[in-house]
Amino acid sequence: MSTALTQLSTRLKVSEEELHSIVMNTVMPGGGRQVTNDQFVSFLAVANEYKLNPLVKEIYAFPAQGGGIQPIVSIDGWLRIINSHKDFNGMTYQDNREGGQLISVTCRIYKKGIEHPVEVTEYMSECYRNTPTWKQYPARMLRHKATIQAGRYAFGISGIIDPDEAERFEDAGAIVKEDRDITPEQYPAEEFKKHLPAWGQLIESGKKTASQIIAMVESKGQLSEEQKILIEEFEAEEAA
């Protein structure tokens, strides 16, 4: 086992074997079938460097053209990186409009000991894509783009891209499009009912979080939203 796997499993409080299984089955492209051990270790090293949790999809991977994998970081992961940086000292946004129409978003990141903030402006005309997410949430997506670019400039973040960039890379052929029409096999209802009490005990004892249990189970089969809620209720009861 690698040092990266040991460090990440310790930080996430799961066994190395469990972490390996979950990441390979749910985070890696193609269920990990064509991922080498070197690529797996490299991915864990990136997750560990930025203190990201692959079990809740803060970071995952796509196959790169010509071999290898490309780490993808969700907006939740980017916010974790930015907010947890030792020099982070706040962040502000400015929506820039003309005639009521959003033209651009400016993100300013303040760093400790630095007089002027790092400022990045992202423009709708340059970023907008004809996709369902951009059509439904254009302002939110543009704010995400400004946040990520400002984070890169402020803290020298490299080697990772966001999901929107991943789609652009797919279109350009830089990473391989995966078949996303395959519906994962559902986790057996009887098995879920059988194991639910034991999972609840793990959550209530503090040995596992609801997210960790869900990720572990979904490495074996897809859960319904109702089943996820049943697992999350154990955590809610513990916090009450």
For residue 53, the tally of other CB atoms under 10 A from its CB is 19
Q: Is the dihedral of CA 18, 23, 26, 28 positive or negative?
A: negative
Helices 138-155 and 75-84: crossing angle, nearest 10°?
40
What 3-state class would DSSP assign to 72?
strand
Given this model, what pLDDT does residue 22 score?
83
Region 48-60: mean pLDDT is: 89
DSSP state of 29: G
Q: Quick one: how far is CA 64 from the chain centroid?
A: 18
Give the strands of the sheet with 118-123, arranged side by side: 88-98, 101-111, 118-123
CA distances from 73 to 24, 57, 182, 234 (A): 16, 8, 22, 28
Range of weakest confidence among 25-39, 45-59, 71-85, 223-237: 25-39
Q: What percent of the chain has pLDDT over 90?
A: 42
Provide CB contacts within 8 A for 47, sequence distance 6+.
Answer: 4, 8, 53, 54, 58, 59, 71
Task: Quote the CA–CA distance of 204 and 199 in Å, as a whole number.
Answer: 9
Given this model, what pLDDT does residue 51 score?
92
Q: For residue 17, what pLDDT band results from cuts at 50, 70 and 90?
A: confident
pLDDT at 236 over 80: no
Consecutive H or E run containing 92: strand 88-98
pLDDT digits (tens, 9 = 90+) for 154-186: 999 988 999 888 888 777 665 555 544 444 578
What φ, ψ does residue 134 adopt, rounded to 5°? -65, -35
- Bigger pLDDT: 225 or 122? 122
pLDDT digits (tens, 9 = 90+) for 192-206: 999 999 999 988 888
pLDDT digits (tens, 9 = 90+) for 79-102: 999 999 999 999 999 999 999 999
Given this model, what pLDDT does residue 115 score?
93
pTM equals 0.71
Given this model, what pLDDT does residue 113 score?
93
Name residue, tokens 């955590």.
235
Burial class (CB in 10 A: 0-12, 13-18, 19+), 47: buried
Burial class (CB in 10 A: 0-12, 13-18, 19+), 117: middle
Q: Quick one: how far is CA 92 from the chain centroid?
A: 22
- Side chain identity, residue 3: T
